[in-house]
Amino acid sequence: MTEKTPTLDTASESKYRIIGKRVDRYDAADKVTGQAVYGADVHPSNLLYGKVLRSPHAHARILSIDTSAAEALEGVHAVITGADLPSVSDRIVDLGETATSLRYQSDNILAKDKALYFGHAIAAVSATQPYIAEEAVSLIKVEYEILPPVLDVRKAMRPDSTLLHDDIFTDELGQKSTQASNVASHIRHAQGDVEAGFRQADVIIEHEFETTMVHQGYIEPHNATAIYNPSGQITIWCSTQGSFGVRSQTSDVLDVPISSVHVIPTEIGGGFGGKNSIYLEPLAVLLSKKSNNRPVKLTMTRAESLAATGPTSGSYIRVKLGADANGHLTAAKLYLAYEAGAFPGSPVGSAAGSMISEYRISNVLIDGYDVVVNKPRTEAYRAPGTSNAVFAVETVVDELCEKLGMDPIAFRLLNAAKEGDRRPDGPTHPRIGFIETLQAAQSHDHYQTPLDGKYRGRGVACGYWGNWGGRSSVSASMNADGTISLITGSIDLSGTRTTTAMQLAETLGIDLEDIVPQVADTNSVSNTEGTYGSRTTFATGWAAHKLGCKLIDAVKERAALLWDIPVDTVDYEDGCIFSKANRLTFKDISKYLDETGGPLMVSATSFEGGHGPSATTHIVDVEVDPDTGKVDILRYTAIQDVGKAIHPDFVEGQIQGGVVQGIGWALNEGYFYNDEGQLLNANFLDYRMPTFLDVPMIEAVLVEVSNPRHPYGVRGVGEVPIVPPPAAVANAIHDAIGVRLTALPMSPARVLEAVWEQTPSAYLG
């Protein structure tokens, strides 16, 4: 059977037997009963416990490290420092959604000559008990020369700023500068003539914005358990979004062959982009090697997770937009300075590519700067870099609508990009459903219902995200009873074992109960990129469809042998193999495997491209308490083009989760550093993510504009929901009390300051 030809048809519900149904998820019972095995549940025999010593300083030269007292403590097996890591070259290594120099990756895992942020790993120990490891860490004496911390992105960019690295020379639009700088790179996207565009404008709005670093906030902190065996084979259990990424990064950092690293992923308690890069894995391996090959487990505390993993960039952003009197956008000039953390690699590039791409604007100039500061190295976070950039863009769009007296959805409909329009960063849009989300928003009950009440306001904001495809591998074995064991290399963050199996079952025309999916380790399946870029249901699902097609070909061959007829006279439909004279179900062929050649196993991979971008429109109602500055979310509706929703529950869950994270980013989340660069809120009490009591039921509206380039019309869905919330909430606050907030988070203190600026007599202090 040939693969299903992708079609432009917007899939109707009745077309599919399994796709689109809200079936039970395979991992549900294990997870709700506590049976699922997470990284912390791995306990090989003879296990030792590791602990990492972390820098109390944001910026300091390491003059000496004395580990003798720690090594002498009873129960301690090994102590390692940066000197134990092999020296590595400057080549670029892939971290999944981001990339970095291998040397920076190594330096982030264990500091060498300099500590570059509060929480930077300096040394690690292994011991028989966790508390002994903790005590041992406290016995390591580090002599620091404290250097001035660089904490503000704009100050870091000044030519006279203290430098983090003496070997960063700005990549200035492709040209290396000759003077060392904290600015790692300057990128630009230019389209049309932006100054001419502003001359055509009747209304021009320009604002500056500032946003603070925020963390992904996954509930399960990073962990790794490793065994280095005497022949140099390495086994790692860990919580990761991509086991193959852990394998290649560990191999790179330790300078060992990739084939010597075996990664066994456990269930994962959240990632959101923050579990692509490695932190603990090489430390666990080196400690095991120095501990007579005993297994070593490292588990971060919440404080370590917040101080030294993640986060995403804080930023300084300028947005200038022009529109003519009819409401057409004529020009956009955007300036983005992003904190990369201690090493280059902020998501400023992906922000530039997505922050305004859902609009059709002839004249655009985007300048982006990737800037190192003495904070943790940033990692991907759900549509990396885009929420803060869109906060800026959509706030200015809202003010344009206000000045023009236009309805915010009507304005956006007028300027919405569609298939064939060119994005400011180059690519041409394939079929996207932005207009459809706007139309659905316009007619939605939420938008149609007037909002009454004092200090209440409604905000609208939109978002765009390109998504990703990438490499995926799957395999299938037929069991004696005709069921299929489905092996996938994709880590299951959000139900993708189930959505992958659903696409295979749909292709084969068999029941979902006859497929048992499993996430495999790196020795059991071929290369599969991590679960990031909203790619898994798209790309691994595509591989599953190809797998199904190969299975159909295989069972047709078996049937032809069994019936002794040419294979081209055998057909397959709806889970049945048949010829003119014969008929067998897919499952029944299992009875005849031995007489037709033995066991049946097939594999398939995908690397197709063709991923479909996501666009979304959000509506939010808020109530502001002008006396306290507190903002309550009253109602929230997210309308998203999801392509074909393979499992609508999971898609709605992704949308609701993304919106809640976006609300947290909007209102209260943010890193709080003191002047010395020490993180003061590295706990979930003072790093204020929303609780259930802080958000209403988020209504997710699925607009299914099929991706014509995927066999089942799938688009990525997981990232774009986090893009509009900060902007939507800001616009709603403006509607409620008439103030524009230009900094995230829009904490009660910030709201109050804006109220006092507007009405000085409101201050009672």
Partner 1 sequence: MHSFTYVRPQSLEEASTFLSEHREQARILAGGTDLLVQIQSSSVTPDYIVDIKHIPELNVLSFDETGGLRIGAAVPCFKIWNHHEIAHLYPGLIDAVQLIGGTQIQGRATLGGNVANASPAADTIPSLIVHGAICDVIGRQGIRSIAVQDICIGPGQNALAPDEFLLRFQIKPPSIGFGAHYLRFIPRNEMDIAVASAGASLVLNPDDQTVQYARIAIGAVAPTPLLVIAAGESLIGQPLTNESIDRAARLAAQAAQPITDIRGTISQRKHLAAVLTRRALVKAQERALQSLKGASH
State the burial class of residue 63 (Cβ atoms within 10 Å of its Cβ: 0-12, 13-18, 19+).
exposed
Contacts with partner 1, 672-711, as mask; x by CB under 8 A: x-------xx---xx-x-xx-xx-----------------
Number of Cβ atoms within 10 Å of the Cβ of 517:
26
Name the residue nearer to partner 1 (CB basis): 8 or 680. 680
Task: Measure the CA–CA gap between 622 and 736, rounded to whole angstroms.
Answer: 7
**Whole-number minimum distance, CB 628 to partner 1, in Å?**
5
757 binds partner 1 (CB under 8 A): no
- What's the number of CA atoms in the CB half-sphere (13 Å) around residue 391? 32
Strand-pair category, 630-641 with 698-703: parallel
DSSP character string of 582-625 = -EEETGGGGGGTGGGTS--EEEEEE----PPPEEEEEEEEEEEE
Q: Is the Cβ of residue 127 or residue 227 nearer to partner 1 in the bound state? A: 127
Q: How far is the CB of 280 from partner 1 (least distance, A)?
A: 20
- Nearer of residues 180 and 680 to partner 1, judged by Cβ: 680
Residue 763 in contact with partner 1, rule: CB under 8 A: yes
Ranges within 717-756 binding partner 1 (CB under 8 A): 747-749, 752-753, 756
Residues in binding contact with partner 1, number by CB under 8 A: 28
Residue type, 141: K
Closest separation in Å from C-beta 629 to partner 1:
7
Whole-number minimum distance, CB 748 to partner 1, in Å? 5
Read off the tokens for 208. 């500056």
Least distance (Å) from partner 1 to the CB of residue 675? 12
Decide if residue 415 touches partner 1 (CB under 8 A). no
Based on the shown chain and the rule CB under 8 A, indicate whether residue 131 belongs to the binding site for partner 1.
yes
Reading the block at residue 132, the tokens are 């002994």
Which residue's CB is nearer to partner 1, number 214 or number 409?
A: 214
The C-alpha atoms of residue 744 and residue 317 are separated, in whole angstroms, by 12
Of residues 241 and 678, the one with the C-beta less far from partner 1? 678
Kindly state the smallest distance separating residue 521's Cβ from partner 1, in Å: 34
Buried b (16+ CB within 10 A) or exposed e, 181-216: bbbbbbbebebbebeebbeebebbbeeebbbbbbbb
What are the C-alpha distances in Å from 171 to residues 180, 190, 283, 377, 424?
11, 17, 32, 19, 21
Q: Which stretch binds partner 1 (CB under 8 A): 171-179, 317-325, 667-675, 735-743?
A: 667-675
Closest CB to partner 1 among residues 293, 681: 681
Helix, strand, coil % in the chain, rounded to nearest 5: 30, 25, 40
- Closer Cβ to partner 1, 549 or 620, answer by number: 620
The residues in 423-452 that bind partner 1, with binding defined as CB under 8 A, are none
Dihedral of the alpha carbons of 228, 234, 239, 242, in degrees to the nearest 10: 160
Comparing CB distances to partner 1, the nearer of 235 and 668 is 668
Told to check if 630 binds partner 1 by CB under 8 A, we report: yes
Residues 56-95, mask of contacts with partner 1 (x by CB under 8 A):
----------------------------------------
Query: Least Å distance between CB 459 and partner 1?
Result: 19
Burial letters 311-330, b for 16+ CB under 10 A, else e: bbbbbbbbbbbbbeeebbbb
Query: Which residues, 6 or more positions from 463, have their beta carbon under 8 angstroms from its beta carbon?
Result: 354, 358, 383, 386, 387, 390, 615, 616, 618, 720, 721, 723, 724
129 in contact with partner 1 (CB under 8 A): no
- As measured in angstroms, the least distance from the Cβ of 692 to partner 1 is 9
Give the bridge partners for 322, in sequence order.
204, 331
Q: Which residues bind partner 1 (CB under 8 A)?
A: 131, 134, 627-630, 632, 667-668, 672, 680-681, 685-686, 688, 690-691, 693-694, 747-749, 752-753, 756, 763-765
